[in-house]
Structure 1
Amino acid sequence: MYLKNNRIADIVPEVTEWRRWLHQHPELLFDLPQTSRFIADRLREIGVDEIYENVAETGVVAIINGMADGPAVGLRADMDALPIVEATGAEHASQTQGKMHACGHDGHSAMLLGAAKYLAETRNFAGKAVLIFQPAEEGGVGAKAMVDSGLFERLGIHEMYGMHNMPDLAVGEFGLCDGPTLAATDFFYVDIEGVGGHASQPHKCVDPVAAANAIYNGFQSIITRNTDPAKNGLISVTAIQAGEANNVVPQTASMKGTVRNLHEDTRDLIEKRMHEIVAGVEKSHGVKATLHYDRLCPVTVNHSDQVDRAAAAAIQVVGADKVDREQPARLGGEDFSYMLQEHPGAIIFIGNGASAGLHHPEYDFNDEAIPFGIAYWAKIVEDRLALKE
């Protein structure tokens, strides 16, 4: 199998060191000065042909030219961390309190750097490998900002490929599916204002807590009674805040949460019904209630031909029995969706083994996955930009 490539095996120890350095120095959203500088410095040492820095504030894009002319294929890794206190106890744990790489973006970036090193040495392809290191995947829609920069269009990218680690998928295995793969991700915020007062005189008050409860129950009924059961999503209210004292009806209440689904028409229906429910409760309870609905990223939809190509590359790395073409779609969000709206492509999952879940304080990227990720990236480029015999 392709994984037995000796040069890739030789690269792995250095890539592991890079991954652990990135894990120790987590940064958030677009504020990635150390991370982007580290990645750009490694790319210069590797000897890529072109580097574009400060794309969408802190993004980095590198180009490696093959042995002959041809189209351009984009490979994307995300770089940002999360505002979570790490609890792994690892020697390479975060050195910044309150920030950690709890989603494996350190591993994603390190594997793409490893692929850059391999591809810059071998150049066994015809065209351009465009390596994209993206900021702000965790809620900042950095992918959209990079697309909006116009750089990908200027570079003439033909196809786009992404990769994300997946806990509970065994190390050395890959999974992907055709069509909707990851959910549209939206956030919502509800603010309610009533009339506060003494809890012993509720008839003189307008209770925002009761209104919040009615809105909560109304939101839950959308999924069970309004959406198509074959393609519904979820509404998660993740915070409700109101009052402090036992004997006071508060003046205000608020709630927030997230909406996830795999179908854009379902997404439209949910947003519409949420606005209607808030307006109805406002009228029936006599409060002032407002809903702010923030669409972050659309459904991530894999393209059929590129799914075939991604699966074929993965099979060459690990064998057909280790590649699941029918992985279930997941309700996690991914702003790679914006890149797939502009270019045909696919995102594939790489096994992280029996680790803690994504966004968990005990999560850590599994370094044993590194050679599989490097080999996959290399095969995508060599297959999609194959030299003519």
Structure 2
Amino acid sequence: MQDLLQETLTNRILNEWVKQTHPDQIIEKIGGYGLAAIYKGAKPGKRILIRGDIDALHIPEPNDLPYRSQNQGVSHKCGHDGHATILCGLAQWLGEQRPDQGEVVLLFQPAEETGQGAQAILSDPQFEQIKPDVAYGLHNLPSFEKGKIMVKDGCFAAASFGLKLVFDGRTAHASQPETGHSPSELLAQLIHHLEKKREQLKAVKPLTTFVITHAILGEETFGVAPGHAEIWLTLRSFNDCNLELMSTEIIEFCRAKAKDHLFDFNFSMHEAFAATNSDANCVKTIEQAAKNLELNLGHLEEPFRWSEDFGRFGSVCPIGFFGLGSGTEQPALHDPMFDFPDDILEIGMGMFWEIIRLELEG
């Protein structure tokens, strides 16, 4: 199991498997360690992309399962191993039976967890070879009945990004702090202000919020009065515009406060995820596929607060995203005891197979 941007062995194993299914074309190392397999029908037509993420997480695996991670401190606690396996099953089916028309692209995507993977795929010149007319993805959902298909019109998962706010003054010897310029008081004021702001945002709809995830003041030492401070935030919203407005307000407020207190100010953005917005027609296709397969179908009342970088593909084509229940007793995503249930693999495969049929034959 390998984490983001290091999926070298994962890529090689997937490549070896996919080659056995004899796709018409394989594109290796797209977007870093991504892999795309193209299966062409007898006649030209629409190109549909099915995406599965493949990266793991920096989470220890405290179990004795025979398939536990061999890399200490890295494991699949979000189910991306299951998502990739679903695509491997699809590859086998497509190897045995091509569509009558159109093309199917199976995309094994790296680096989903930081929001880098989808954008890396889109920015790769090789993407033009697989640029789809429509794209679909899924994510397993703990706390939902096994095999239940969950959909939502519009936003399925929130937009988010990390914001690092940096304040620089001047260090001094700890015995003479008055000779320096410490941001300690400013840091305390800003944290207090931001927490009050977060409370006020609870009334904003759709969901728009942030959380302070980390704060730094100086170095871990007793001999130096600090001259440097940082505040790290994760901003989150169901609406991309609201997210941008909130971040601009926070940045400009901190910039003004830093100027008032004579500190240098900088900021940077990290791990940016666009909102995952399902196209209305794609949602109808997902619903029809679930009904055709006589699966339990449910509709979310509101989007998930977590983010999913599949939303980036919405900038190039209509996208459809659905949830696949992984069990009411399943530990939460990113929990050390999470374990993707193999008995939902074929349901995921069947859903994608039926979606492909509906898209290419419809």
Q: What is the TM-score of this pair, normalised by structure 2? A: 0.90
Residue 227 of structure 1 deviates from its aligned partner by 8.6
Following superposition of structure 1 onto structure 2, how do residues 162-241 of structure 1 map, counting pairs within 5 Å?
162-196=137-171, 206-225=181-200, 229-241=204-216
Confirm whether residue 73 of structure 1 aligns to residue 48 of structure 2: yes
The equivalent residue for 1:273 is 249
The aligned residue for residue 367 of structure 1 is: 342
Report the alpha carbon displacement of residue 140 of structure 1 after superposing the two structures with TM: 4.8
User: Displacement, 1:294?
Assistant: 3.6
Contact 1:71 1:156 (8 Å CA) reproduced: no
Task: Give the partner amino acid of 1:271.
Answer: S
Contact 2:201 2:209 in 1 (8 A): no
> What aligned pairs does 1:50-89 form with structure 2 within 5 A after superposition?
50-89=25-64
Give the superposition deviation at 1:67: 4.5
Q: d(CA) in 1 for partners of 2:335 and 2:112?
A: 17
> Residue 313 of structure 2 is aligned with which of 339, 345, 360?
339
Query: Following the alignment from structure 1 to structure 2, what is the Cα–Cα distance between the partners of residues 156 and 241?
Result: 43
Aligned equivalents of 1:131, 1:222: Cα separation in 2: 44
Which AA in structure 1 matches 2:315? Q
SS of equivalent to 1:229? coil
1:151-205 deviation digits (Å, cap 9, x = unpaired): 4544452210011111111111011111112111211112223445577876665
Deviations 1:20-53, CA, capped at 9 Å, x for gaps: xxxxxx1122222211111111111122222111
Q: Distance in 2 between matches of 1:77 and 1:295?
A: 19
Give distance in 1, aligned partners of 2:77 and 2:253: 35
C-alpha displacement at 1:126, in angstroms? 2.3
CA–CA separation in structure 2 for the residues paired with 1:171 and 1:306: 23
Secondary structure of the residue that 2:191 maps to in structure 1? helix
Q: 1:85-124 maps to which residues of 2 (within 5 A)?
A: 85-124=60-99
Letter of the 2:307 partner, please give it. Answer: G
- 1:32 and 2:7 matched: yes
Any conservation in 1 of the 2:49–2:134 contact (CA below 8 Å)?
Answer: yes
Taking the aligned partners of 2:141 and 2:335, their CA distance within structure 1 comes to 13
Per-residue displacement from partner, 1:292-320 (whole Å, max 9, x unpaired)? 2346122111100001101211222343x
Partner of 1:259: 235
Structure 2 letter corresponding to 1:211: L
Q: Distance in 1 between matches of 2:260 and 2:342?
A: 56
Partner residue in 2 for 1:383: 358
- Which one-letter code corresponds to 2:311 in the other structure? S
Partner of 1:139: 114
Secondary structure in 2 matching 1:331: coil
Report the aligned-residue RMSD.
2.4
Cα distance change of structure 1 residues 127 and 226 upon mapping to structure 2, 3 Å threshold: same
Percent identity at matched positions?
A: 27
Q: After superposition, give the CA deviation of every residue in 1:82-114 in whole Å (9 maximum; x if it has no partner).
A: 122222432211101121112111110001110
Letter in 2 for 1:256: W
Question: Which of 260, 280, 303 does residue 304 from structure 1 map onto?
Answer: 280
Work out the CA distance in 1 between the residues paired with 2:126 and 2:299.
32
Partner Cα distance (2:360, 2:240) in 1: 33
Rounded Cα–Cα distance in structure 2 between residues aligned with 1:196 and 1:46: 62
State whether residues 237 and 258 of structure 1, in contact with CA within 8 Å, keep that contact through their aligned partners in structure 2.
Answer: yes
Give the Cα–Cα distance (whole angstroms) in 1 for the partners of residues 175 and 261 of structure 2. 19
The amino acid that maps onto 2:26 is: I
**Higher helix fraction (1 or 2):** 1
Consecutive unaligned residues of structure 2, counting only runs of 5 or more, are: none
Distance between the aligned counterparts of 1:152 and 1:167, measured in 2? 32
What's the counterpart of residue 323 of structure 1?
A: 297
Q: Which amino acid aligns with 1:92?
A: Y
Query: How far, CA to CA, are the matches of 2:24 and 2:142 in structure 1?
Result: 35
Number of aligned residues? 360
Matched to 1:296, the amino acid is: A
TM-score by length of 1: 0.85
Q: How many angstroms apart in 2 are the aligned matches of 1:269 and 1:103?
A: 30
